Amino acid sequence: MIIYFSGTGNSKLVAEKLSVLMKERVHNIEDGAPPIIYEQEILILVAPLYFWTLPSIVLSYLAEHEYLNIKELHVLMTCGGALGAGATLITKQLSGLGYDKAYIHALVMTTNYIPLHNVQSPDMAAKAIQTALNKLPDIAEDIRQKRSAKTSPILGMGLSIARRMYDKARHTQHFYTTNLCIGCGLCERSCPSHAIRLIENRPKWIKAKCTLCLRCLHHCPVVAIEYGKSTVGKDRYHPEKFFSKNN
């Protein structure tokens, strides 16, 4: 069975495509507890890479549903650049949750983390997505053969640093709305962290931290949400412009 979390769509696409390739069921963790896992099923997690680590919402989900830890776990991380130290850091995170048999895989797609980068043009993103999807059969075989990305005990020492960087970045004080806001409430309804509430027809971040998926920012229909000054004037990530080319 494949369980997944997807901020803006990349991991969702990969999870659904992989489920067809491997003939496995697929479950969005935002839909609540996963169904019963059968003995013959492989347990696969698909999620985006955040600061070389697992998203906070994924870690909380695994901690809440401890019964998932009954067999080996394969983790397929979607990322905009490279896995880097991710294999080591994620393995260490999972070990802390009791997952001693964890296999890490990575799929480079296209970035949507616009606090640091610019999104690619729709044509370039479409090519990057298709290149990634073309690699899925090889990843499926790696999962079957229990092949994993290499890890390093030395790199594992960087987990605390990566965690601090991520925790600092996901403080919701960085988010704000501009006068373009029309009070549609889409950000409130779609936030996986339930960190946004519409107050007097304007979104307010009511939690100190979120999972930093940037779904609110990218999905805002009038581009009214910013993350500090680093996202001002930048294009948003709209995978619906090119995902249709990969269906």
pLDDT tens per residue, range 125-176: 999 999 999 999 999 999 999 999 988 888 888 999 999 999 999 999 999 9
Lowest mean pLDDT among 33-42, 51-60, 76-85: 33-42
pLDDT tens per residue, range 44-71: 999 999 999 999 999 999 999 998 988 8
**Fold for the domain defined by 2-167:** Rossmann fold (3.40.50)
Residue 117 has pLDDT above 70, yes or no: yes
pLDDT tens per residue, range 215-228: 999 999 999 999 99
What are residue 203's DSSP bridge partners? Answer: 198
Q: Where in the chain is the domain with CATH 3.30.70.20?
A: 170-237
pLDDT tens per residue, range 94-114: 999 999 999 999 999 999 999
Residue 82 has pLDDT above 90, yes or no: no
- Looking at residue 145, its pLDDT comes to 95
Among candidates 197, 215, 214, 216, which has minimal Cα distance to 206?
Answer: 197
- Looking at residue 70, its pLDDT comes to 82
Residue 244 has pLDDT above 80, yes or no: no
Mean pLDDT, the chain, rounded, equals 94
- Give Dmax over CA atoms of the chain in angstroms: 55
- Looking at residue 133, its pLDDT comes to 95
Lowest mean pLDDT among 12-26, 36-50, 166-180: 36-50
Q: Where in the chain is the domain with CATH 3.40.50.360?
A: 2-167
- Looking at residue 56, its pLDDT comes to 98
Residue 245 has pLDDT above 80, yes or no: no
Share of the chain above pLDDT 90, in %: 85
Would you put residue 47 in left (φ > 0), alpha (ψ -120 to 50) or beta?
Answer: beta
Structure tokens at 200: 């007097």
Residue 247 has pLDDT above 80, yes or no: no
- Looking at residue 246, its pLDDT comes to 54
**Fold for the domain defined by 170-237:** Alpha-Beta Plaits (3.30.70)
- With cut-offs at 50, 70 and 90, classify the pLDDT of residue 240: confident
Q: Which residues of 213-232 are buried (b: 16+ CB within 10 A; e: fewer)?
A: bbbbbbbbeebbbbbeeebe
